[in-house]
Every structure is written in structure tokens, then in C-alpha cells.
Amino acid sequence: GYDARLLLNASRFQILSALNDARESLGPEDNLLVYYAGHGEMADDGQQGYWIPTDGQAGMPNTWISNGSISAILETMQARHVLVVADSCYSGSMAGVAMPVANPALAEGKWDEWVRTMAAGRSRTALTSGGVQPVPDTGTGKHSYFARAFLNALADNNRLLEAQQLFREVTSSLALASVNAPITQVPEYSPIQFAGHETGEFFFLPAKDSKATGP
């Protein structure tokens, strides 16, 4: 049910233009999911992370896309909920402090109340394939270990799914699937730094479902 825009082997200009287009076109009732799969890098001082576009040049951060630039665009965007899924090295540098975790065992009334509260709030969160370190860019078939775990979690879902729960399912699946991976990776989920996160959560609902169900 998403209105999708696919960028393959995109340049710095193409990626930033797509984000700016979303900023100009989305309103307060819209949600945005950004999935980045590509190379990442970290500044020498360890303070700034980057996405590397196809025209990025080695050793030249001014040709890359900084987390700060992405945050600045998301902060001024009208969309209510934004989730950035980043499958790249050093992707965890985008994340801020951890956010409160919902208890899956909440009683039905409490679950409904929590969903309403989170759906009404403004959120800017990131689900990353790892922390502030390299991650493997290979996996099973044509997908990375993280991408396969992410796709499987969504394909197996048949209920209203909050991004926190998606994160837990991806983490569990990845721990098993990447036993033979060359690098250990631990996904992270938290608000994006300086992007205007207040309180809220990103939700996935299967297109065939007409209403949300509980946990």
C-alpha cells in the first residue's frame, strides 16, 4: 500500500533531492519510510556518520551525505512519522538515546491506548543494521543478512506491527541467521538525533487488513 520511489545506484544529488521532494510533498497525516542499503563511513573524530552515494569520493566527506544533513531535512518535514531503515556500515551513528519499549503483554485496553498515543505523536526513528562499526554486505541469496531478516519479519506479520517489535524480531532472526557471518552485527533502534522526534511510533499494517489487531 505504499507509494514507493526506488533509487538504484543513486548519486548524492539524487538522494538529497528525493528527501527534499518528500519534505515538500508530505503533510501532517502522512508517514515516510526510508530504506537505505549501501556503503557507510565514519568521520575520523568518530562524531559524524555518512551515507556514501555512487559519486562519493574516497577521503572526501564533502562528497558524502552526513547524518546531520538527513536529520535537518527530517526535522523540517511535515510528515507525522518517519522511519529510516539503514543497512550500512556505521549506521548506528544516526541513532540517539534509547526509547521506552512497549510491553507486548499489555492488556487489550492498555494496548489500544498506547497505540492511539503513539499514533498521534510525532516520531523520527531509525532502525539500523548495526552500531558504530562495519557490518557484512553479503548474506543469503541477493540480500544482506539484515535485509533478509527485515523482509522475513514483514512477510510473516499479520497484525498491526510497531517498529519496536519489528526491531526485536529482526534482532532475533539475525542472531540465528548470521552465525556464519564474517562480522557480528547487532541492530539498533532509537530516535534519530536532532531530527525533531517527540513521542510516537511507526506502525506497519498488512494491506489486506481493514483494522488493527492487538499484540
Q: What percent of the chain has pLDDT over 90?
A: 53
Can you tell me whether residue 214 is helix, strand or coil? coil
* Reported confidence tier of residue 121, pLDDT bands at 50, 70, 90: very high
Which pLDDT band, with edges at 50, 70 and 90, does 100 fall under? low
* pLDDT at residue 140, rounded to an integer: 58
For residue 20, the model assigns a pLDDT of 97
Q: Dihedral of CA 107/108/110/114: which sign?
A: positive
Q: Is the dihedral of CA 186, 34, 73, 52 positive or negative?
A: positive
Ranges 44-58, 155-169, 179-193: which has the least confidence: 179-193
What values do phi and psi take at 8, rounded to 5? -110, 130
41, 106, 165, 176, 214 from 67: Cα distances, Å: 10, 35, 24, 30, 34
Using pLDDT thresholds of 50, 70 and 90, give the confidence band for residue 210.
very low
State the cell numbers at 69: 544533513
